Amino acid sequence: MPLPLPGRPRLGQAPLPALLLLAVLVGPARPISFQLPGKARKCLREEIHRDTLVTGEYEIGAPPGSSTGPSANLKITDSAGHILYAKEDATKGKFAFTTEDYDMFEACFESKLPVGTGRMPDQLVILDMKHGVEAKNYEEIAKVEKLKPLEVELRRLEDLSESIVNDFAYMKKREEEMRDTNESTNTRVLYFSIFSMCCLIGLATWQVFYLRRFFKAKKLIE
* Boundaries of domain holding 108: 31-135
Q: Is residue 66 part of a domain?
A: yes
Lowest mean pLDDT among 28-32, 93-97, 184-188: 28-32
Burial classification of residue 121, based on how many CB atoms lie within 10 Å of its CB (0-12 exposed, 13-18 middle, 19 or more buried): middle
Gap between the Cα atoms of 40 and 125, Å rounded: 13
The tens digit of pLDDT for each residue in 124-178 reads: 899 998 888 887 877 888 888 888 888 888 888 888 888 888 888 888 988 999 9
Residue 115: per-residue pLDDT: 56
Q: For residue 118, what are the contacts with CB-CB under 8 A and spacing of at least 6?
A: none
More confident residue, 213 or 65: 213
Instruction: State the average pLDDT for the chain.
Output: 80
Q: Is residue 10 part of a domain?
A: no
Q: Is residue 214 part of a domain?
A: no
Q: Is residue 175 part of a domain?
A: no
CATH number of the domain within which 48 lies: 2.60.120.680
Q: Is residue 26 part of a domain?
A: no
CA quadruple 133, 140, 85, 110: dihedral positive or negative?
A: negative
Q: Is residue 152 part of a domain?
A: no
7 pLDDT above the threshold of 60: no
Q: Is residue 164 part of a domain?
A: no
Lowest mean pLDDT among 4-8, 62-66, 146-150, 212-216: 4-8
DSSP letter, residue 161 = H
192 pLDDT above the threshold of 90: yes
Please tell me the total count of domains within the chain: 1
Treating both helix axes as pointing N-terminal to C-terminal, what angle do 149-217 and 138-145 enclose, rounded to 10 degrees?
130
Q: Is residue 41 part of a domain?
A: yes
